[in-house]
Structure formats: C-alpha cells, structure tokens
Structure 1
Amino acid sequence: DLRRRSSVPSEMNFGDSVSSHPGTMCNMFSTFFSSVYAPADNSSPATKAYETPFTFSEVLVTAEAINKRLKALDASKGCGPDNITPGVLKHCRAELAPILLFL
C-alpha cells in the first residue's frame, strides 16, 4: 500500500559513503552542495536597483518557523528543481532549519 510507505529514504548514498542517520545524511547534502557551489563572479556589472512601492520595516524569520514549514511539506509530492524530495527535507528539518535561516 503506497499510502503507508514513507517517501523518506531509509539510507542515502553519496560517493563511497552510505548512511541512515539523519544528521549524517544532512552532512552529505552539505558536502554535495558545497562541491557544486560557485561563488558569484565579482567582475560582472552591478545590477540596477529597482524602486518599488513596497517597503519592509522588519522581516523576522526564525529557525522554528522554518522547521514548522518544512514539517508541513507534503512528502508525497515530487522533487523540486534541486531534485530533492519533500520527504527528505521534512525528515532532515531539524538539521536544515538553522542552516536555512542564514540564507
């Protein structure tokens, strides 16, 4: 029965490593993304600032709010453009929320 089956993988493979521990799986994600990250090219021309009628006096985001949003993800949905399933994000939310807070 597919409804009872978790969409979160029980283990993750990355390179020569295999793990079923959520923290280690998040570290594998971190290693992958840091390996494909390319710093911004500072030689490109500056972007033009656009004026809008909107102003934000304060935007407050907390790790708890991020954790709550990740927990609410529908694990049965498909991957996003990053090819990561919502179930994996939901499963690793405790480790990801503090990191996502700084993005």
Structure 2
Amino acid sequence: MGHGDARRRASVRYAQRVGAIPLPRGAETRAPLWRLIEHLLPPPDRGTPILDLGGGTGVWAIRLAEAGHRVTMVDIAPGYLARAREKIAAAGLTELAAVEAGDICDLSRYATDA
C-alpha cells in the first residue's frame, strides 16, 4: 500500500468526521467540473475578480486565467504556493493570476462593499 492510499484513507476519514464528501481528483474529473463552473462565472470582460481559496498548486487558478479571468489564488502551504507560482509563470499567466499566502479562516483583506 502506497503513501497515496494512506492519504486517501485519511481524507475519507476526515470527510466522514465533518460530514463532507471528498471530491475525486485528477484530470479526468476536471473537464466535467469545469463545464459546471464556467456557466456560473461572469464574462471575463467584466473584470470581476475571482478568489480561488485553498488553491493548492494552481490548477483552477490557471484554468480561470486561461479563460481570461483575473484570479487571486490563496493557500496556506508554502510548497503549494511555490509550485503554483512556477506553473502560472510557465503558462505566461502572471498578468491574470496572482498567488498569495493566506488562511481561508481570515478573509478580511478581501472584503468588499458588495
């Protein structure tokens, strides 16, 4: 049994404890999920900023920026932040996607009048 199996089991145990359902991961699940998400997004030309909380390595921030959205990805893990910055730079999306360290339990700096 590999390290991934142990992580998966721990994730399932945590989800059961808090009453959540763990989402499947991987490229095969992103395409259908993106089709759902894109219908909920404002048109990119409106300039509406999008906040990607717990953005990990930037998978969704990159996808949003590729679609023309301005996105700020927030995560608490330094390793994920570094990887997200690398991937966003490699994709040439630094003008649209920002990466910030932060705790999703304190979003006061993102407060708006909306």
TM-score (norm 1): 0.24
Q: Which has the higher contact order (CA 8 A, sep 6+)?
A: 1
Larger Rg: 1
Q: Pick the structure with more strand per residue.
A: 2
